[in-house]
Homo-oligomer: A and B are copies of this chain.
Amino acid sequence: MAERDGPAKRGRLSRALVLAAAVALVDREGLGALTMRRLAADLGVEPMAIYRYTAGKEALLDGLVEAFFAEVNERLRTSADQRDDDGPAWRAELRRIARAFAAVVHAHPEILPVVATRPLTVPVARRPAPLLQLTEHILAVLGRAGFDDAATLTIYRAFVAWNIGRLLVDRRQVVDNPEEPDPLLRLGLHRLPAAEYPRLRALVPRLAEYDDEQELITGLDGLLRGMPEAPLDSFYG
């Protein structure tokens, strides 16, 4: 099989193609659908062909992360950003990064769990290059703003934590039965004993009524204002 499409039998694949197909597959059908066989079929190729471009399934997941951050970087490079000069420049830049990150998550929501959990268990030095580049950029921004090493790292960790946590929380809850007009029933709330969970029952219907970006940025600003001060900030702030 797999005789269609590419005229040549050779050179059909490439790492970029494989990763793109993987991302597309995950976008369309979720992480669960990402199997070597399925991916191969999408590429019009036998399963083992993929192994020439990625060491295995694990490595393929790391490839998703790579593709993800490549897209974040790309977006940062091209986003002429709406003017946003509240506070010092470094904070504006972190906001810009947070927005880019969020935008890519919204473009590929299914990948988020991988992005959130996988890189953190991988030694820094072997994380995908695009992630390293982004990290370098953030550290450089903070360094230029005048923070010393300890402060830079503290802010960096807080920034990453907030973004990841925030985006995980933003994954709106899947709804039991989208058809049901009554929100109580639609959310499956009849299963929540009202006696035990009064506040929850009252609030859940409104849990999804909020502005992601608003809360992302507001929270980020709040968080960062609580961080150590940069020596130069008082002049520019």
Q: Which residues of A contact B (CB under 8 A)?
A: 113, 116-117, 120-126, 132-133, 135-136, 139-140, 143, 149-150, 152-154, 157-158, 160-166, 168-169, 171, 173-176, 187-192, 196-200, 202-204, 206-207, 210, 215, 218-219, 221-223, 225-227
Q: Which of B120, B126, B157, B168 sits near A191, CB closer than 8 Å?
A: B126
The residues of B that contact A192 with a CB separation of less than 8 Å are 124-125, 132
The residues of B that contact A152 with a CB separation of less than 8 Å are 203
The residues of B that contact A196 with a CB separation of less than 8 Å are 132-133, 136
Q: Which of B135, B157, B175, B222 sits near A226, CB closer than 8 Å?
A: B222
The residues of B that contact A149 with a CB separation of less than 8 Å are 202-203, 206
The residues of B that contact A191 with a CB separation of less than 8 Å are 125-126
The residues of B that contact A165 with a CB separation of less than 8 Å are 160-166, 168
Interface pair A132/B219, CB less than 8 Å apart: no
Q: Which of B117, B188, B190, B215 sits near A116, CB closer than 8 Å?
A: B117
- Can you show 11 pairs from A to B with CB atoms below 8 A apart? A116-B116, A117-B168, A121-B174, A122-B173, A124-B204, A125-B192, A149-B206, A161-B168, A164-B169, A222-B223, A225-B226
The residues of B that contact A190 with a CB separation of less than 8 Å are 125
The residues of B that contact A202 with a CB separation of less than 8 Å are 149
Interface pair A136/B166, CB less than 8 Å apart: no
Interface pair A174/B215, CB less than 8 Å apart: no
The residues of B that contact A200 with a CB separation of less than 8 Å are 124, 132, 135-136, 139
Interface pair A210/B121, CB less than 8 Å apart: no
The 10 A-B residue pairs with the shortest CB-CB distance, nearest first, are: A222-B226, A165-B165, A125-B188, A161-B165, A139-B199, A113-B117, A161-B169, A161-B166, A164-B165, A125-B191
Q: Which chain B residue lies CB-closest to A152? A: B203
Cα separation A204 to B175 with both chains bound (whole Å): 42
Interface pair B168/A123, CB less than 8 Å apart: no
Q: Which chain B residue lies CB-closest to A191? A: B125
Q: Which of B158, B204, B219 sits near A215, CB closer than 8 Å?
A: B158
The residues of B that contact A117 with a CB separation of less than 8 Å are 113, 116-117, 168
